[in-house]
Amino acid sequence: MKNKKWGIQNIPEQKDKTIIITGATSGLGKEATRVLAMKNATVIMAVRNTPKAKIVASEIRKEYANVKIDIRSLDLSCLDSISSFAKGVLEDYKNLDILINNAGIMMCPYSKTKNGFETQMGTNHLGPFALTGLLMPLLMSTKNARIVSTSSVAHNQGDIDFTDINWEKRKYNTNKAYSDSKLANLYFSYELKRRLENVENPPLVVTAHPGGTKTDLARHSGIFNVFMNLLFLPVEKGVLSTLRAATDVNAKSGDYYGPGGFMQVRGFPELVQSSKMSHNLTNAKHLWDLSEQLTDVQY
């Protein structure tokens, strides 16, 4: 059922639910942490900067005294960090109701991760791929669990070169690399949904994008920041697509939420369409196989 003005008031009570949010110290992740903690979930803040996370958690506790927040170190550009984080969660928690793969980087200069991956693909796709795979046993054992990936309207410009995923043979184009990583997020979600179709008690696999939202993700994008400040949504509205993907009781596996306004840049969250390219089964399977090979994580 379409709800033209879906908002925080539509989020059901989250008591007894455990939710992981990556990139929870700023922007969409910080706001999602605040809202879901307010709704009485236990929120695991999966972050690179734990001192900053403690400040964020303190701010939230001043607003809502009895929130449950667990701060844990996670660097999605490092497979060892991902493995350590997942191991700790599997040891300490009996259920994982929602995994929100929110963290990401955008349009940064060329570099490689500690594992040798182009940084945007490594952080935005390969890291979440490995994290989700390592947490899958807990997600599978939790009734009605949900996995939320975060894409972008930029995925429309994506077209992954599988022969040079780390940009070692081409001149680096940071915008294109970002778009490729956001297309990869959709390939991952759609392929995971297909692979879980015949599994008992599969988690829902849902994707969201925030449209145009004022966050510090675009700090490397120069004059784009001027445009962003004029036209984009505040974080409090931009996060609604993610929150709807994570909590809407009517969501189905394979759903994609984004702002329902002009070009999916502004508006309240609705079911939206991703690009034709994002539904390419051959590419999705190719990326899946390559991701397993590169991360050494098998589902």
In angstroms, how far is CA 250 from the centroid of its own chain?
20
Q: What is the DSSP string of 254-299?
A: T-EEEE-SGGGTSSSEEE-PPPSGGG-HHHHHHHHHHHHHHH----
From the list 64, 172, 178, 187, the catalytic residue is 178
- Give catalytic status of residue 172 as yes or no: no
**72-76 LR contacts (CB < 8 Å, sep 24+):** 72/44, 72/45, 72/46, 72/47, 73/47, 73/48, 74/22, 74/46, 74/47, 74/48, 74/131, 75/48, 76/22, 76/103, 76/122, 76/123, 76/127, 76/128, 76/131
Average pLDDT, integer, range 86-101: 99
What are the residues facing 206 on neighbouring strands? Answer: 148
pLDDT of residue 210: 92
Cα gap 92→215, rounded to integer Å: 32
pLDDT of residue 266: 66
| pLDDT beyond 60 at 3 | no
Cα gap 212→28, rounded to integer Å: 12
Residue whose tokens read 């701060």: 71
Q: Which of these ranges, 16-30, 63-77, 206-220, has the smallest mean pLDDT?
A: 206-220
pLDDT of residue 63: 95
Mean pLDDT of the chain, nearest integer: 92
Q: Given the DSSP bridges, would you call strands 98-101 and 256-259 parallel, antiparallel or unpaired? A: unpaired
Q: pLDDT for 154-199, tens place per residue?
A: 999 999 999 999 999 999 999 999 999 999 999 999 999 999 999 9
Percent of the chain with pLDDT over 70: 90
Enumerate domains of the chain plus CATH numbers.
8-294 (3.40.50.720)
Residue 131 or residue 222, greater confidence: 131
Cα gap 53→30, rounded to integer Å: 9
Q: pLDDT for 240-280, tens place per residue?
A: 999 999 999 999 999 999 987 666 676 789 999 999 999 99
Q: pLDDT for 6-54, tens place per residue?
A: 999 999 999 999 999 999 999 999 999 999 999 999 999 999 999 999 9
pLDDT of residue 268: 87
| pLDDT beyond 50 at 1 | no
Cα gap 49→212, rounded to integer Å: 25
What pTM was computed for the model? 0.92
Are 22 and 128 a contacting pair, CB within 8 Å? Answer: yes
Residue 229 or residue 266, greater confidence: 266
Residue whose tokens read 């599978």: 140
Cα gap 132→147, rounded to integer Å: 8
pLDDT of residue 227: 52
Dump strand ranges (E) for 157-215: 204-208
pLDDT of residue 260: 73
